[in-house]
Structure 1
Amino acid sequence: MLVDYILVGQGLAGSILANHLINAGCSVMVFDDPLLSNSSKIAGGLYNPVTGRKMVKTWNADNLFGYLTDYYPKLQQQLEADFVNDIPIYRPFISPEELNEWMGKSADIDYSRYVQAVHNSSAYGSQVSDDFGGILLNQSGFVDTGKLLEVSAKFLVERKSLTKGYFNPAHLKLEEGFASYQGIKCKSVVFCNGHKSLEEQYFGWIPLRPVKGELLIIKTKENLRVIHNRGVFVIPLGNGLCKVGSTYDHQNLDEKPTIEAKNVLVHKLNELVKFPYEIEYQLAGVRPATKDRKPIIGQHPKFKSLISFNGFGTKGVSLVPYYAKQLTEFLTNENGIDSEVNIERFFSLY
């Protein structure tokens, strides 16, 4: 069997890259082991142009959001499913100084496109603690990543482009200009397998810094029309359910929910919201973050038919579409990969 590309992993990275390659006229075979972890299935799915404690524009926001706001609606249409939710994010201010800072930033062309409103007094005081007002962001929302993966799998199955089962790198055969695996010959094998790449022979050296994240699903009678985000995010899922997250644990990298993380999330949630709620259940997963918080994309230093598409961490929903487009152009037209995400920046570690 001959295909253009083999992809390892059908998480968010593998699903969206496969879609880009197929739309570019390429044939793919995606290998996915349902028994292995997949942090994409339980991710918060948030896309947010202003992030962090200091509330600054996320890295490369103009390129990322300029592309994803166009791409995701088209992907929904192609996959005939709804999984994207455009919802404003409301971030309460914690001081008058922060309010004053954002009164100025909202007029700055670098930020104005992402700011729907700056409130100088409480705007959602019945729901959250916002004595100093807050900022309402646009070009924001969340992707139901579980639904996206489900319909992407169906899309691939219909094209006979998905194999369920473990991909064993030890069985790869590499020759000049191509690779083969279990009778399938291709131009390149793209590893989109998150932190599991650390366990295999070809990309085990890349400096991933896996981080465990835990989420709560809560139920409330409060009618939430925005995503509240300060300390934790509270995403309204419908039917009174909300997703609350997230924690960051670099030490304990199993996928079991912990009481410690639950207590942290409840404490932060109670500091933010005023409405009553009940905890339905708790989730945990391990994200493939990196030490410099940027993806790791490009060819293996020795085996040019092997490609890394990894390290998207907590912002995969924002990062993956733009860089899937860039990698597709690299593979099909030999266009360059941005130096900030290019795997070449870590070749000294190989």
Structure 2
Amino acid sequence: MRVDYLIVGAGIAGSVLADHLLKAGKEVMVVDDATKSNSSKVAGGLYNPITGRQMVKTWNCDRLFDYLIPYYKGLETELKTNFLFDTPIYRPFFSIEEQNEWMAKSAENQYSSYIKEIKSKPEWTNEVSNPYGGLLLSKSGYLDTSVFLEAFKDKLRRSKKLIKSDFDFPQLKKLTEGYSFEGVTAKRIIFCDGRFGVDNPYFSWLPFSLVKGELLFMKSDVSPRVIYNRGVFVIPLGNGFMKCGSTYEHNELNELPTKKAKDELIQRVEKLINFDFEVIDQKAGVRPATKDRKPFIGEHPVEKGIWIFNGLGTKGVSLAPFYAKQLVEHMEDDQPLDAEVNIERFFSLF
């Protein structure tokens, strides 16, 4: 079988990229081993325009968010499945000074489209601790990553575009034009292999900085009306079920949930919310983060036809659509890649 692109990995990055290539009229085959760990399956899935303790706009916010919401909504319609939940995020203020600062920012064009409302007094006090009020955001919510990935994988299966296999590098053969793998001949190979990029013989020289994250799943008699997010996120899943996270661990890089992370998350959640809850499950995954917290996108410096789309870290849901589109336009129409994500910035390490 001959295809234009062979994609290795069917997490958020690989799935979104495959979709963009298919929509561009390209022949695509995806290789994925469902038994291997995949941080996309256990991701919080949050897309949040205002992030961090300092509450600043997420990097490249305007370009990302103008594209990601209509993109996922269109894919929902195509796949006849619901996985994008457009839900306001409420971020309590830490002080009167912070409240005043955001009152001023709300009038600025760069923030106004992301602010649904400024709460100057405590709100929803039976649910959340917010003595100074808080910031209610729009253009925010979460992607149910498990539902999305399974729905897209079903599409690939039905169209016979999925190889269920671990990617065995010795089986990849270089041809005069392109590469072959398990009976598939492809012009280009794109590695979207997440945390396994650190062991990829073509791209292990890139400065990955893997980080383990853990999530709790909780149940309560209270059903939060919005996503609460300050120091920890609490995402309402309906009927009193919630997902909260996340932790950041750089040393013990495995998928085993820990008591330490559970205790840490419970402590943070109890500071944020004002209702009782029960922990019913805990999950862990290893995210493919990078040293400079920007994705790795581009072609190998020597092995032409070998590409990478990886390193999306904790913001894969937000980053994948825009940069998949940009990568396709780069490969097919010779449009430039953003210098901040192009792996050329690390060619000196090769």
Structure 1 length normalisation: TM-score? 0.99
In 1, Cα distance between the equivalents of 2:177 and 2:308?
A: 17
Paired residues of 2:8 and 2:192 also in contact (CA < 8 A): yes
Query: What pairs with 1:43-192 in structure 2 (closer than 5 Å)?
Result: 43-192=43-192
Match of 2:17 in 1: 17
Opposite residue 163 of structure 2, the aligned amino acid is T
> In structure 1, what is the Cα distance between the partners aligned to 2:34 and 2:69?
30
**8 Å CA contact 2:223, 2:241 repeated in 1:** no
1:195 matched to 2:199? The reply is: no
1:204 aligns with 2:208: no
Would the aligned equivalents of 2:223 and 2:238 in 1 still touch at CA under 8 Å?
no
Specify the SS of the correspondent of 1:187: strand
Question: How big is the shift at 1:5?
Answer: 0.3
3-state DSSP class of the match of 1:155?
helix
Using the alignment, how far apart are the partners of 2:183 and 2:91 within structure 1?
53
Which residue of 2 is the match for residue 315 of structure 1?
Answer: 315
SS at match of 2:2: coil
- Note the C-alpha offset of 1:176: 4.7
**Percent of aligned pairs sharing the same letter:** 53
Deviation at 1:177, TM superposition (A): 3.9
Per-residue deviation, residues 36-77 of structure 1 (Å, max 9, x unmatched)? 110001100000000001000000000000101210110101
Q: Within 1, Cα distance between the matches of 2:20 and 2:227?
A: 29
Number of aligned residue pairs: 350
Letter in 2 for 1:238: G
What is the Cα deviation at residue 347 of structure 1? 0.5
Report whether the alignment pairs 1:28 with 2:28.
yes
Q: Distance between the aligned counterparts of 2:101 and 2:35, measured in 1?
A: 48
- Give the corresponding residue for 2:274: 274
Question: What one-letter code is carried by the residue in structure 2 that aligns with 1:225?
Answer: R
Q: Stretches of 4+ moved more than 3 A in 1?
A: none
Distance in 1 between residues matched to 2:196 and 2:258, nearest whole Å: 22
Are the equivalent residues in 1 in contact too, given 2:214–2:245 (CA < 8 A)? Answer: yes
Between the aligned partners of 1:185 and 1:81, the Cα distance in structure 2 is: 32
SS of residue matched to 1:4: strand
1:223 deviation in Å? 2.3
Q: Distance in 2 between matches of 1:51 and 1:4?
A: 38
Normalising to structure 2: TM-score of the pair? 0.99
Q: Partner of 1:334 in structure 2?
A: 334
Distance across 2 between alignment mates of 1:187 and 1:237: 42
CA-CA distance at 1:126 after TM superposition: 1.4
* Letter aligned with residue 146 of structure 1: S
Partner Cα separation in structure 2 for residue 176 and residue 2 of structure 1: 14
Task: Indicate yes or no: 2:244 matched with 1:244.
Answer: yes
